[in-house]
Structure 1
């Protein structure tokens, strides 16, 4: 199994295969609107705008598994992200990222990064095209550091 075999559901209910992103860099992040790190949405949007023409996409997956910091429903999450942080990158349905009910995407990402469970909101994963590499970043790691990693990967290709 690869990451590209996984199906995800957009926040509006439309289904999508991650294989659609096979030739792109994916920055996958679990988000929460009431988290103290929510300001990272602004930097993630900047990262997306800076690199989308170079094949980078940010994929946001809201989760309410950490101190109920995502109490909003899917429509409310979308409105909040768009109006407060001008988010235009794809957002997906609220999911679990840990435990038996964890979404298959997060089960896969955790397995591929040394089986360390997701510690908090805004854990970020950078998946290179064709899944050449998966790099994991802590919740407190700034998207600006992820940006530097993307720049290095793009230059090396």
Structure 2
């Protein structure tokens, strides 16, 4: 099994088979427009701009499960991402990424690479960790589920999950891993 066994609905309403991304290095991320990590849209777009011509793609999946930080409609999300952050990497319609109604793709991803903790030295961690412990301790019960917005999964060109990055890993922190996969794919 790989990510190529899944599909999702793009912002334009068209069902997209993820096998369309075979042969590419893929970064899958659950996003939200009103989160302390929303600034990562801009950094993700910079990564996409830098590597898209080398076989890299980012797939964004908005989600409203974490403190209702993505309440907008799909159309509003798409427009906001474009206007505020210049996003032109593929975005999909809003989904759930954890619990009973989780999209099968995210259930698969989260079971391929378990949660390995937050980077406690990240500036937003000072707010995020106490918030989760106080308001949503159930998020931390298991080792697999998505814990917050902007959890990122790096996928190799064969559709295999290589690495999981939590929200407290900024996109720039992933650059070496992306470059490594791209260089291995070009050999």
Common fold by TM > 0.5: yes
Structure 2: distance between partners of 1:88 and 1:19: 20
**Paired position in structure 1 for 2:172:** 144
1:64-75 paired onto structure 2 within 5 Å:
64-75=64-75
Does 1:154 pair with 2:182?
A: yes
Query: What are the Cα deviations for residues 51-103 of structure 1, in whole angstroms up to 9, with x where unaligned?
Result: 00110000000000000000000000000000000000000000000011000
Displacement, 1:153? Answer: 2.2
Does 1:122 pair with 2:122?
A: no
Structure 1: distance between partners of 2:20 and 2:184: 23
Structure 1: distance between partners of 2:86 and 2:100: 33
Moved more, 111-120 or 48-57: 111-120
**Paired position in structure 2 for 1:42:** 42
Structure 2: distance between partners of 1:100 and 1:13: 23
Displacement, 1:148? Answer: 1.8
Shift in CA distance, 132/97, structure 1 to aligned 2, threshold 3 Å: closer
The SS at the match of 2:61 is strand
Displacement, 1:152? Answer: 2.0
The SS at the match of 1:26 is strand
Quick check: 2:8–2:92 contact (8 Å CA) kept in 1? yes
**Paired position in structure 1 for 2:112:** 112
The SS at the match of 1:125 is strand
Displacement, 1:146? Answer: 1.3
Q: How many residues align?
A: 157
The SS at the match of 1:19 is helix
Displacement, 1:133? Answer: 4.2
Displacement, 1:131? Answer: 2.5
The SS at the match of 1:16 is strand
**TM, length-normalised to structure 1:** 0.96
Q: Which has the larger radius of gyration?
A: 2
Unpaired runs of 5+ in structure 1? none
Quick check: 2:153–2:161 contact (8 Å CA) kept in 1? no
1:2-151 paired onto structure 2 within 5 Å:
2-114=2-114, 116-151=144-179
